[in-house]
Amino acid sequence: MSRPPRVAFFGSPAFALPVLEAIRAEFEVVLVVAQPDKPVGRGLKLTPPPVAARAPELGLPLAQPKKLRGNAEFAARLHDSGADVAVTCAYGKILPASVLQIPRYGFLNTHTSLLPRYRGAAPIQWAIINGESVTGTTIMQTDEGMDTGPILLQEELPIAPEWTSLELSEALSAQAAGLIVKALRDLDALRPQPQDEAQATHAPMLVKEDGFVRWQDPAQAVVNRYRGVAAWPQTTAFFGGKRLKLSGLSVAAGQGQPGQILGSGPEGLTVACGSGAVLIRTVQPEAKKPQPAQVWAQGQDVKVGTRFDLWAPAAP
């Protein structure tokens, strides 16, 4: 291509904003596409996703179609925008073939894993939950499958041991911004490489139960899960049938029956796991504010030696 490509950008959450900003700094963004406004908060106020809120501030044309499949009006708008290529970043909708075929260079997707590992909606969270030490960003050519298209560029990113999904998401957003700009600069030189299906793993969307503590797991696995679900649904445990939110978890010395409270002090509660133990710094009972774990234990007369309720996922 003798000139820089014109880009249509598809994205919705705050994660996608640095990617949009990086593309806009170097290329002409001819259309921004985000999900429709949704009710938010107790008042259910109709609120645009962050990308939709930002686009008008940047003077960029915006579309928020409710659906893409069979939407002739949107297809015409994308075609008429003159986009040479489209970029998706956490857009949140499956793209039909009729849309994928409109731009001359198709769609490039920024995926936050080293494909074919962690295909799906929550690669950042599951990489941490599973104890990975390295992840990264893949720029891929989008097809009709779930993150199955050929790979164009990849870049690794070490996961710091203390990072939660929040810190990792921020780091990957910055990485994705730099990598997609590199891909757009070298659009004609990119050589797609098919994914190795034998190496594929999946990262399904999280559900509330993914945040429930599995005390039977090793201590490091309990902490990894806490780190992975930090953004949502957060970490939940049960004591005497009552639901509690836990935060500030780290691996600690100790051994006992899974869920057994081994000690209580100013730093928090030490609780045994399947092997090893964890330290819990903060507890939040339902409908109450977070409080130091020791304060909660004293207020509820929770004794050393008593146990948190055990929970395990239902058999499939």
Q: What are the CA-CA distances from residue 91 to residues 13, 35, 111 (Å)?
A: 8, 7, 11
Least Cα distance to 151 among 103, 199, 104 occurs for: 199
7 near 86, Cβ under 8 Å? yes
* C-alpha neighbours within 13 Å on the C-beta side of residue 243: 10
305 near 261, Cβ under 8 Å? yes
If you search the block for the tokens 């005390």, which residue do you land on? Answer: 215
The alpha carbon torsion through 31, 35, 41, 42 (nearest 10 deg) reads 130
59 near 35, Cβ under 8 Å? no
If you search the block for the tokens 């939660």, which residue do you land on? Answer: 164
Return the number of other C-beta atoms located less than 10 Å from residue 211's C-beta: 20
Feature table: binding site for (6S)-5,6,7,8-tetrahydrofolate: 113-116
User: How many Å apart are CA 314 and CA 316, to the nearest integer?
Assistant: 6
Feature table: binding site: 113-116
**Token digits for 96?**
């039909």
Largest CA distance in the chain: 74
Contacts with 137 (C-beta within 8 Å, 6 or more apart), sequence order: 110, 111, 112, 113, 154, 155, 157, 172, 175, 176, 179
